Amino acid sequence: MPVDLGSAAHGGAGRGADRRRGGQRQGLESRRRHLRDTGRQAQVRPGDLDRMIGLLQRVSHASVAVDGLTIGAIDGGLMVLLCAERGDREKEADALLAKLLAYRVFADDAGKMNRSLSDIGGGLLLVPQFTLAADTQSGTRPSFTPAAAPEEGRRLFDYFAGQAASRHRQVATGRFGADMKVSLTNDGPVTFWLQVKPPAAKA
């Protein structure tokens, strides 16, 4: 039977990449479980867990309300749920923001995903959501130990929002620590989980 060597090689490379990604995820979950089981949150070093999390959703409309009042709303653009993990710092936030603004998830004239939020000048709604850091590997109750402490999570969210507003014209936000009601129309649907490794420090 003829064998397509190109397809076989491509499939092998794909399986290798899948194994590497699987190993990275398993390593992260192992570190999270160790942190949860030992309870040594204060001893976590920057980078021990992973990177700041952004859950991007391409929307035709999105809004967030607190106590019945809308505090942030956008039309076409991105709604992003943000979560800082223990060890995250400003450089993790900067790396995620740069990727987010340049990430090509909007259609060009040919209908292909080839335009970024910066390209289209769309709205950006940032909503804090610490539950994205949950460890869900065991039991039926999520553990939030991997999430940044509330004070640090608030500081990094405010930092991220401030940096976003300085680089993009249309930015709205939710309120850290509040009971928020979030509404959106996901356009597509199109949703991406983003975590970005900051550039290595120069020697």
The label of the residue with tokens 């309300």 reads: 65
Per the omega criterion (within 30 degrees of 0), is the bond before 150 cis? Answer: no
Count Cα atoms within 13 angstroms, Cβ side, for 194.
28
Catalytic site residue 140?
no
Q: Measured at the alpha carbon of residue 35, what is the angle toward residues 30 and 36, in degrees to the nearest 5?
A: 100
- For residue 52, give the 3-state DSSP assignment: coil
Query: What radius of gyration do the chain's Cα atoms show?
Result: 19
Catalytic site residue 130?
yes
CATH annotation of 44-195: 3.50.80.10
Beta bridge partners of 171: 124
Phi, psi of 55 (to 5 degrees): -100, 105
Which is catalytic among the residues 57, 129, 145, 173?
129
Tell me 2's DSSP state. Answer: -
Phi, psi of 197 (to 5 degrees): -80, 125
At 65 the pLDDT is 98
Look up residue 110 and give its amino acid: A
Q: Could you tell me the two tokens for 110?
A: 């040919």
The rounded Cα 178 to chain-centroid distance in angstroms is 20
Catalytic site residue 170?
no
* Euclidean distance between CA atoms 182 and 122, whole angstroms: 19
Which is catalytic among the residues 26, 70, 131, 136?
131
* Euclidean distance between CA atoms 181 and 178, whole angstroms: 9
Which is catalytic among the residues 57, 106, 130, 173?
130
Q: What is the pLDDT along the chain (203 residues), one digit of tens a residue?
A: 444 444 444 455 555 555 555 555 565 566 555 544 444 343 444 344 458 999 999 999 999 999 999 999 999 999 999 999 999 999 999 999 999 999 999 999 999 999 999 999 999 999 999 999 988 888 899 989 899 999 999 999 999 999 999 999 999 999 999 999 999 999 999 999 999 887 776 65
CB 51 within 8 A of CB 89: no
At 196 the pLDDT is 86
pTM over 0.85: no
Q: Measured at the alpha carbon of residue 48, what is the angle toward residues 43 and 53, in degrees to the nearest 5?
A: 120
Tell me 49's DSSP state. Answer: S
- Sequence-distant (≥ 6) Cβ neighbours of residue 125 within 8 angstroms: 59, 62, 63, 64, 72, 73, 74, 77, 78, 79, 80, 171, 172, 173, 174
